[in-house]
Structure 1
Amino acid sequence: MTERTASTPLLETETEIGFERKMKSPWTRPLIINVLICCLASIQYGFHMSELNAPAKYIRLSLGLSQSQLGLVTSIFSIGGLISSTFASYFSTIYGLRISFIITSIAYIFGSLIESKSKTYTDLLIGRFISGIGGGLAIVYVPIYVNDISPINLRGILGSMTQISVNFGILLAQILAIKWNGLIEWRNIINFGWIIGLINILLVIIFLFESPKWLIIRSKNINEELGFKNLSKLRGLNNLNLLNNEIDIWKIEKQAHSILIESNPHLKNLGFWNYLIDKNYFNSRMISTFMMIGQQFSGINCVIFYGVDILNKVFPHYAVLTNVIISIGNMTITSISSLFLDKLGRRPLLMTSLSLMIISLIFLGIGILNENSIITITSIFTYVGSFAIGCGPIPFLIISEVSQIEIKDIAQSWATDCNWTSVFIIGTMFPIINSLIGGWIYLIFATCTLLFLIFVKIFVPETKGCATYEEVWGGSERVD
């Protein structure tokens, strides 16, 4: 490998860059393989989110659980995720993302094994909690890793892979439930969790590259040679100038942070507290917080956690199959919409998604209140499909794009904490509120989604094609 030199120009001419890009497709085999491997962690996240949905009544009978106990078993997954996501950034900053993915899969494996062998309510609680630890790590690490290794022009479509893989995990759990939705067979569904985890560990050890961005600018033991080597494989380029340009952009951002530290020594040891109180991080903090709260208070996890129960009331004989069809539609629409993230932009798709969700939620409430099965089924389909267009993938994608390079990990952890807290609130309170007011709860979700839409309209910037924080925010700070 040719050594990088200090005299390497920062930018090539537009003609040279355009020629190189025409000659080389950004879709390299190493890039695709590494994205798919890391997304196995998100698949497991979706799988565990939905694993209790279809067989809920059989789990209750098998272990003698009450409805409230099953509700806590369902929701405690988010408590494990909340705890692990809080500390995820510290671990990945010190040890790198490759080891972080191995730890994530270990948590999934142990959690699934305990769940599948559980004989009591306590056993199932412990297993779900440990699985949640894996979920909390995954939902932080996957978006960061994908953002680190993606070319700018593919960051939208590859960033949406987080949500696509989550949807695939949800779908996998529901497909397995068609065959194994029984008093004894439900344990076979759970067993798939540790099988996927074991496959993931092996693939990470054998094939996954360490993030070149972590190796070059975030690691305490800088390894620029390995970082450059990994980046060149991911990009499939022999043009040193193009590779150097990308690395130089990272270094310029890091240098800007170093200057910030010199004038603000209290930021030297960055942590959650700095992130939450420092005005320099207001932009990132605002978007991270309200994007995740807004996503969850749109009510999507009511369908993921309790979709079969909802459908049983209007479609009792085909609830599980209908739920599978809805999940297939969700994953398909998410995949298709991802193709347009780098063409149409994040804001237009997100605002379209939220607008359609509001309409669907209103009709869903009307359908349930009037016991109209056609309106109810149609509204659930359109609601999930509308979520998949933008509200599903974009919040996770955009956190890294609106945050300074030095706090991307912390921002992702904070956003995930907000997400997990919201998931726990929705997952725990939905059965209680639903039993009290029935279909009116969907009108509450519609109101929350409307408030989210207004927030996006006023505060969320377009990040399409932006390489740096300064480009996203137009070179100016929006601070309180």
Structure 2
Amino acid sequence: MYTVDEIKRINSTDAGIYVYIPSPLTTWTDIMNGESIADILLHTAIVSLQPLQFGLHMAILNAPMSSMSCSVSSDCIQNWSPVIPGSIYAVGGLLGSICTSYVLSTRGIVYTLNVFAFCFVVGSIVLASSKTQTQIIFARILTGFAAGGAVVSSPIYVNAIAPPHLKGLLGSSTQLNVNVGIIIAQILGVLFASENWRYIMYVSVLFSVIAVILLRVFVRSVPVKSFSDPEAQTLTGTSHATIHGSHQGATLSNNYSEHQAHHHRHVTITTPGSNATGESISIGVFLKEAKYRHSFITAVSLFMVQQLTGINTIILYGVRILSNSFPNQTKAVNLLLSIINLIATAISASIIDKFGSRKMLLLSLGLMGLFTALLALGLTSGRQLLTLASALLTIVSFAIGIGPIPFMFIGEVTPPEALSLAQSIGTVSSWLSTFAILTIFPFLDSHMGYKSFYIFSACSLAGCIWYSKWLK
């Protein structure tokens, strides 16, 4: 292991931006006393602000949605309709996730993080100052673009700089911050979701500006050392992680092992035409050859089913959905759902490790089918206790299975040479499905009312039956 002085000397003489990853024998005391690990913890906290903004903007229209109409408020959006602004966020996310690999390969991870951080700033400012529906849509596309890039690039950076024995802990911080962002949006909704709804947008501007400043000031050169964990080297197929742009480009992929004590994410950075096994395939080969068909169908269907459970309708339209059952406590109940979501997400990894991803996936979908149906029953019958309990249990059921598991399964059923493609296709499937659900739900709601949740219940149960046969 390099000393702090050696690290400083290497950084002062090397133009590249590298990542120092200490020996797995390093203790927590060593981490707290080591300057280099302190840098890693600081960088993790700063970079995790981007997933936080992803969650914040995902739910930012939930509470103030009804207050933005000119029929309700003098400070309003002309021709306001929440359908397109709500769903168009996913289109921006899709574009951002697609562009990320190109920016990463040509300009490097730190430049990529700065690009998306700047997009958050511009998008937040436009959102806060919007007067028309068109301006809102543009702002949502831009913040969605930043979110799509952030949700890809931030975990890559954090997992690359994290010591092997802390990958799970530090990697989960980026995922949990998405939920923290959603909670912040709900808290702001409780405080400002009336005539002062623009204050919610102003806070998003504040977060984005702080994130850019911290990123520019602190996240530059990172200490250097090769992976010292032999197991990590085997899983990733590399012993040296270099996080900077090169003319050769880079391909990034994540490998998961259910046989680990934790589902640690390992980042591989290789040149085009190669991967962890020294092989690569084209997208045409991946789509056509029979041996990859199971991986392709799994990648697409898992993320489609994830969205067909209807979870994002609760996140984006929760206040609207619960308004009749809890007319005076809608925003507080919605905030409670978000807090439960955060807690369930935080403990989900240990539950999945204990019982296995396949069992938890099937249990999750089965429970979501049950509780979503009970949610529909509670909403249509006006039973507050049933509505609240089923909504909470729906959130928990999602968090312990179908929420975090799809990427794990892709890593388990996909050959190494096709892993990057499978994950990319899964990401595209996720964003497209999100857009479709968020676009269709308002129309289902207007024609079917709360009975539309029976459709989501049926989709969850169908997914449970399908995967019980498909995933052996």
Query: Given the two structures, how large is their TM-score scaled by the length of structure 2?
Result: 0.76
Instruction: Look up the match of 1:435.
Output: 446
- Tell me, yes or no, if structure 1 residue 347 matches structure 2 residue 358: yes
CA RMSD of aligned residues (A): 3.5
Given candidates 190, 194, 212, the residue that maps to 2:205 is 194
Given candidates 100, 108, 126, the residue that maps to 2:138 is 126
* Structure 1 residues 404 and 190: CA distance shift in structure 2, 3 A: farther
Instruction: Look up the match of 1:74.
Output: 86
Q: How does 1:63-102 map to 2 (within 5 A)?
A: 63-65=76-78, 69-102=81-114
* Structure 1 residues 427 and 23: CA distance shift in structure 2, 3 A: closer
Q: How does 1:64-213 map to 2 (within 5 A)?
A: 64-65=77-78, 69-149=81-161, 156=168, 158-183=170-195, 185-205=196-216, 206-207=218-219
Structure 2 regions of 5+ residues with no counterpart? 7-22, 32-36, 227-237, 250-265
- Tell me, yes or no, if structure 1 residue 50 matches structure 2 residue 71: no
Instruction: Look up the match of 1:309.
Output: 320
SS of the residue corresponding to residue 315 of structure 1 reads coil
Contact kept? 1:369, 1:439, Cα under 8 Å? yes
Amino acid at match of 1:57: S
SS of the residue corresponding to residue 314 of structure 1 reads coil
Amino acid at match of 1:70: P
Cα distance in structure 1, aligned partners of 2:298 and 2:163: 23
* Structure 1 residues 399 and 257: CA distance shift in structure 2, 3 A: same
Q: How does 1:347-426 map to 2 (within 5 A)?
A: 347-396=358-407, 399=410, 410-426=421-437
Cα distance in structure 1, aligned partners of 2:275 and 2:431: 33
Given candidates 455, 458, 472, the residue that maps to 1:447 is 458
- Shift of the alpha carbon at 1:44? 0.7
Q: How does 1:219-368 map to 2 (within 5 A)?
A: 220=246, 257-258=277-278, 260=279, 267=281, 275-277=286-288, 281-282=292-293, 284-368=295-379
Q: Which runs of 4+ in 1 moved over 6 A?
A: 208-214, 246-251
SS of the residue corresponding to residue 438 of structure 1 reads helix
* Structure 1 residues 322 and 200: CA distance shift in structure 2, 3 A: same
Instruction: Look up the match of 1:473.
Output: none
Contact kept? 2:242, 2:269, Cα under 8 Å? no
* Structure 1 residues 161 and 256: CA distance shift in structure 2, 3 A: closer
* Structure 1 residues 431 and 217: CA distance shift in structure 2, 3 A: closer
Deviations 1:223-249 (A, max 9, x none): 9xxxxxxxxxxxxxxxxxxxxxx9999
Q: How many residues align?
A: 411
Instruction: Look up the match of 1:24.
Output: 27
Amino acid at match of 2:55: G
Contact kept? 1:254, 1:405, Cα under 8 Å? no
Deviations 1:65-94 (A, max 9, x none): 556x32111111111112222222222223
Cα distance in structure 1, aligned partners of 2:274 and 2:346: 33
- Shift of the alpha carbon at 1:330? 0.9
Amino acid at match of 1:304: I
Deviations 1:252-307 (A, max 9, x none): x957643x35xxxxx4xx5x556544666545533332221111111001101110
Cα distance in structure 2, aligned partners of 1:121 and 1:47: 20
Contact kept? 1:115, 1:127, Cα under 8 Å? yes
* Structure 1 residues 60 and 403: CA distance shift in structure 2, 3 A: farther
Instruction: Look up the match of 1:41.
Output: 50
* Structure 1 residues 400 and 85: CA distance shift in structure 2, 3 A: farther
SS of the residue corresponding to residue 62 of structure 2 reads coil
Instruction: Look up the match of 2:19.
Output: none
Deviations 1:142-196 (A, max 9, x none): 343444445666555554444321111110011011221122x211111222322
SS of the residue corresponding to residue 317 of structure 1 reads coil
Cα distance in structure 2, aligned partners of 1:147 and 1:88: 16
Amino acid at match of 1:138: A
- Shift of the alpha carbon at 1:35? 3.5
Cα distance in structure 1, aligned partners of 2:339 and 2:203: 19
Amino acid at match of 1:90: Y
* Structure 1 residues 171 and 85: CA distance shift in structure 2, 3 A: same
Cα distance in structure 2, aligned partners of 1:37 and 1:408: 29
Amino acid at match of 1:385: V
Query: Given the two structures, how large is their TM-score scaled by the length of structure 1?
Result: 0.75
Cα distance in structure 1, aligned partners of 2:133 and 2:298: 38
Cα distance in structure 1, aligned partners of 2:267 and 2:336: 44
Deviations 1:421-462 (A, max 9, x none): 11111111111112212232212111211233244444458x
